[in-house]
Amino acid sequence: MKVCQKDDMLTFKDEPETSSQAPKDRLPPWNVLVVDDEPDVHSVTKLALDSWTYGGRPLKLTHASSGREAIDMLRDRGDYAVILLDVVMENELAGLDVAEYLRKRLNNNRTQIILRTGHPGTLTDNEAAAVHGCNFYEPKSYITSERLKSTLAVALKDYSSPPHPSMGCGR
Amino acid sequence: MDTRQHKDEFEAILSSNIVAIISADLDGRITRWSAGAEKLFGYSSESAMDINLQALVPPSQQCELQTVLEKLKRKRSIPSLTTQRMKKNGDIFAAEFSVFPVLDDDGKEVLGLVSITSDISNRRQSEEKLAEFSKRIETILDTVLDGIVTVNSGGIIETFNPAAERMFQYRAHEVIGCNVNVLMPEPYHSEHDGYLRNYALTGKAKVIGIGREVAGRRKDGSVFPMSLAVAELSKGENPSFVGVIADITEAKEREAELEDQYKLVKVANDNLTASIDRLKEMQQQLVESEKMASLGGLVAGLAHEINTPIGIGVTASSHLSAISTALEAALHNNTLRRSELDNAIEDINKTSALIFRNLERAAKLISSFKKVAVDQATDELREINVVDYLQEVVLSLQPELKKHHATVDISAEGRFFLTLNPGAFYQIISNLVLNACLHGYAVKGGVIAIAVCQENNRTIITVTDKGAGIAPEHLGKVFDPFFTTRRAKGGTGLGLNIVYNIVTQAMHGTISVESEIGKGSCFTISLPSAPTPPPKAQD
């Protein structure tokens, strides 16, 4: 292996062959729904997760800018693995309404909900998460890209594995 | 000399018209008729010669006249007789009548008579009036409820009316002639003679003409409160005094009752005042807690608003470091591809732009929140640029506005500067804007228009929404304390009352509201301070 000196010109590795992998070899992406009324949250989520994969499968992000919109999307298709969900949007509990709609109306207990919020409206953090069948609670100001990825990894693992009776989210 | 002079004097008397001088014979035929007789009886001298004395006497007195004539025949004179006489026109009047016999030179034979008659009807009337008056006074004294006692200069009782008898339980005859001090308890009993002497010497009255409340002493020694008015009846050598006395025992009792009632009322009143004070204190506390709640709401809003850009910054900056770590590893292993570096650079650009934008946003939020939060906590006056400040307020209310899908449109005709307490101004505007959100746009969002203009040296600020409007039966009450339609949802009903108090009391302005159901509401604030130009054009 060649040892690089400080002033050496940068030598790039050759680019891989384009279209080397046949589409049938690629695993389908994880469907992730990002719900937030703040456009920059969508941007930063997209940037942070753009090239990230779990189990060799990339993420396909779908964006909703309000609770109402998210409910419409959840009604349209049921194969979201994870929802990254803001709480305070058009009203103080808009995000929790989405969670409740998913669990109670759509009776979907498999899709993992990661609650991300500045502060969760009128309920305390853990109450909000537990009562409304949310799996994870992440205060916005603590979500580094690593933490986002590791939480997503756990959520995707839970989504893929058989239901765990002790999770207690009404499954 | 003498005869002549006597005759003249006699003529003068005859011609005087004060008395009637009439001569007649013993049969009563008139022989001489004075000027006074003409005037008194109405007959002329000539016609009088044709009448008899009987014509001058009313029918009821004819007997008397006969008796008089009989006496005269026996040479007896009648120096004075009070009787009645009759005028030519028939009027009868009270008269004093003197008559003397006229004798012959030897004094043996009675030749006739001479009489003097004067009209005493005036005097008679006066005497009758006086008697009548005395009788009345007596009746009054007997009837009045006030005790009336007269004393002489030595303090000896001269009269004592029945009311005084009842009050003091003495009969009049028991006390008349006694010193009036028997009616007084000590110390007046002993001091009263001194009072009288003092008054006689100095003329300085303690009671006379003044009246006062003193104590009286009954025959049995018991003492009662009385009011006493004393007047001097006659001045000079032997003054006497009248005392008018009222027993005020009952009045005193009523007074005491009233005093008791007054005390009760006063206690109740004091309690009421204390309750009002407590209520005021409670209201003050509520106002204070409303202020703190508004501050608390502000901080909670700040926390949420600021967590969003910070969260984005945290994710983005940690993403940058992930890119950097990956690049470092690829570089170190010589596995870096140009496309990867291009992608990384593009990512870095995007991410750092995101970080910068959100840091800026956080900084701006903090600065505006700090301004309004500090303003909330202090009572200092300072000059504000109204439009700029309105924008700060609206920025701090963004979370609420966003929630209700409301936007605020600020318009102003020119630049306005007001010197006021910005915290109070914040409370006014935020309350009105939040009211528009909570009530006007509770169902669906819309525009809240804030307009500033000037009108006759006053700054007019209107806050208008096109929302639900206020029901007519509520419109008159919106500024009342504790009036709310949202009690169940945690409304205190103090928001607009605080706005009202701040505008009218702290800022000496006025606030009014117009509204129509379904069309929206408009609050108009008028502040009494003309917009002043900025100190210098540098602003």
Q: What is the pLDDT of residues B467-513, one digit of tens each?
A: 888 888 888 888 876 677 765 565 666 778 888 888 888 788 899 99
pLDDT at B125: 82
Which residue in A162, A163, A167 sits closest to A136, CA to CA?
A: A167
Find the chain A residues whose C-beta atoms sit closer than 8 A to any C-beta of B.
1-2, 4, 10-16, 37-38, 40-41, 43-45, 47-48, 50, 88, 90-92, 116-119, 139-148
Q: Is residue B415 a contact partner of residue B321, using CB atoms and an 8 Å limit?
A: no
pLDDT at B240: 84
Q: Which residue has the higher pLDDT, A160 or B490?
A: A160
Neighbours of B415 (CB within 10 A): 15
Mean pLDDT is lowest, of B69-73, B191-195, B225-229, for B191-195
B contacts of A47 (beta carbons < 8 Å): 316, 319, 347, 350-351, 354
CA angle at B131 for the pair B129 and B137, rounded to the nearest 5°:
100
Inter-CA distances, B453 with B93, B239, B537, Å = 101, 87, 21
Decide if B348 touches A, using CB distance below 8 A. Answer: no
Q: Which residue has the higher pLDDT, B210 or B314?
A: B314
In angstroms, rounded to a whole number, what is the distance separating the alpha carbons of residues A85 and A120? 11
Beta bridge partners of B449: B409, B464
How sure is the predictor about B441, in pLDDT bands with cuts at 50, 70 and 90? Answer: confident
pLDDT at B334: 85
Q: Which residue out of B308, B334, B345, B347 would a mutagenesis test of the A interface target, given it has the greatest number of A Cβ atoms within 10 Å?
A: B308
Task: At B445, list the tokens.
Answer: 């969002």
Mean pLDDT is lowest, of B35-39, B134-138, B201-205, for B201-205
Mean pLDDT is lowest, of B53-57, B114-118, B392-396, for B392-396
Residue B525, SS3?
strand
Q: Is residue B215 a contact partner of residue B224, using CB atoms and an 8 Å limit?
A: yes
Contact B305 A144 (CB under 8 A): no
Query: For residue range B149-171, what is the model confidence (pLDDT) as tens digits?
Result: 999 888 899 999 999 999 999 99
Decide if B336 touches A, using CB distance below 8 A. Answer: yes
DSSP A101-146: IIIIIS---SSEEEEEESS-TTS-HHHHHHHTT-SEEEEGGG--HH
Which residue in A36, A45, A35, A42 sits closest to A111, CA to CA?
A: A35
**% of residues, chain B, pLDDT over 90:** 25
Which residue in A37, A132, A134, A20 sits closest to A86, CA to CA?
A: A37
A contacts of B357 (beta carbons < 8 Å): 40
**% of residues, chain B, pLDDT over 70:** 87
Give the side-chain half-sphere CA count within 13 A for B349. Answer: 6
Region B315-330: mean pLDDT is: 91
In angstroms, rounded to a whole number, what is the distance separating the alpha carbons of residues B265 and B32? 92
| B538 pLDDT more than 50 | no
Query: For residue range B122-157, what is the model confidence (pLDDT) as tens digits?
Result: 888 888 888 998 898 888 888 888 899 999 888 899
Contact B308 A140 (CB under 8 A): yes
Taking the CA of residue A44 and the nearest CA in chain B, the distance in Å comes to 6
Mean pLDDT is lowest, of B179-183, B211-215, B265-269, B425-429, for B211-215
Region B315-344: mean pLDDT is: 89
| B7 pLDDT more than 90 | no
Q: Which residue out of B304, B315, B318 would a mutagenesis test of the A interface target, given it has the greatest number of A Cβ atoms within 10 Å?
A: B315
Neighbours of B194 (CB within 10 A): 9
B contacts of A43 (beta carbons < 8 Å): 350, 354
Mean pLDDT is lowest, of A24-33, B29-38, B199-208, for B199-208
Which chain A residue lies closest to B332 (C-alpha atoms)?
A4
A contacts of B403 (beta carbons < 8 Å): 88, 90-92
> B473 in the Ramachandran plot: left (φ > 0), alpha (ψ -120 to 50) or beta?
alpha
Query: For residue range A53-110, what is the model confidence (pLDDT) as tens digits?
Result: 999 999 999 999 999 999 999 999 889 999 999 988 877 778 889 999 999 999 999 9
Q: Is residue B428 a contact partner of residue B435, using CB atoms and an 8 Å limit?
A: no
pLDDT at B531: 41
In angstroms, rounded to a whole number, what is the distance separating the alpha carbons of residues A108 and A101? 9
Across the interface, of A91, A117, A146, the residue whose CB is closest to B318 is: A146
| A23 pLDDT more than 90 | no
Peptide bond between residue B187 and the one before it cis (omega within 30 degrees of 0): yes
Contact A146 B300 (CB under 8 A): no
**% of residues, chain A, pLDDT over 90:** 47
How sure is the predictor about A129, in pLDDT bands with cuts at 50, 70 and 90? Answer: low
Taking the CA of residue A86 and the nearest CA in chain B, the distance in Å comes to 10
Taking the CA of residue B346 and the nearest CA in chain A, the distance in Å comes to 10
Taking the CA of residue A166 and the nearest CA in chain B, the distance in Å comes to 31
pLDDT at B499: 86
Cite the DSSP H helix spans in B378-450: 386-396, 398-403, 422-435
Tokens 């991410």 sit on residue: B351
Inter-CA distances, B152 with B157, B178, B201, B230, B231, Å = 7, 11, 16, 12, 12
| B536 pLDDT more than 50 | no
| B292 pLDDT more than 80 | no
Which chain A residue lies closest to B355 (C-alpha atoms)?
A44
Cite the DSSP H helix spans in B22-114: 35-41, 45-48, 62-73
Taking the CA of residue B320 and the nearest CA in chain A, the distance in Å comes to 9
pLDDT at B423: 82
In angstroms, rounded to a whole number, what is the distance separating the alpha carbons of residues B384 and B389? 7
Mean pLDDT over each residue of chain B, to the nearest integer: 84
pLDDT at B532: 44
Q: Is residue A119 a contact partner of residue B300, using CB atoms and an 8 Å limit?
A: yes
In angstroms, rounded to a whole number, what is the distance separating the alpha carbons of residues B306 and B301? 8
In angstroms, rounded to a whole number, what is the distance separating the alpha carbons of residues A169 and A135? 7
pLDDT at B219: 92
A contacts of B331 (beta carbons < 8 Å): 10
Q: Is residue A58 a contact partner of residue A30, using CB atoms and an 8 Å limit?
A: yes
| B74 pLDDT more than 60 | yes
How sure is the predictor about A4, in pLDDT bands with cuts at 50, 70 and 90? Answer: low
Query: For residue range A110-128, what is the model confidence (pLDDT) as tens digits?
Result: 999 998 877 644 456 566 6
Query: For residue range B264-286, what is the model confidence (pLDDT) as tens digits?
Result: 999 999 999 988 888 888 877 77
Name the CA dihedral angle for A127, A128, A132, A134, rounded to a multiple of 10 degrees.
-100
Q: Is residue B331 a contact partner of residue B344, using CB atoms and an 8 Å limit?
A: no
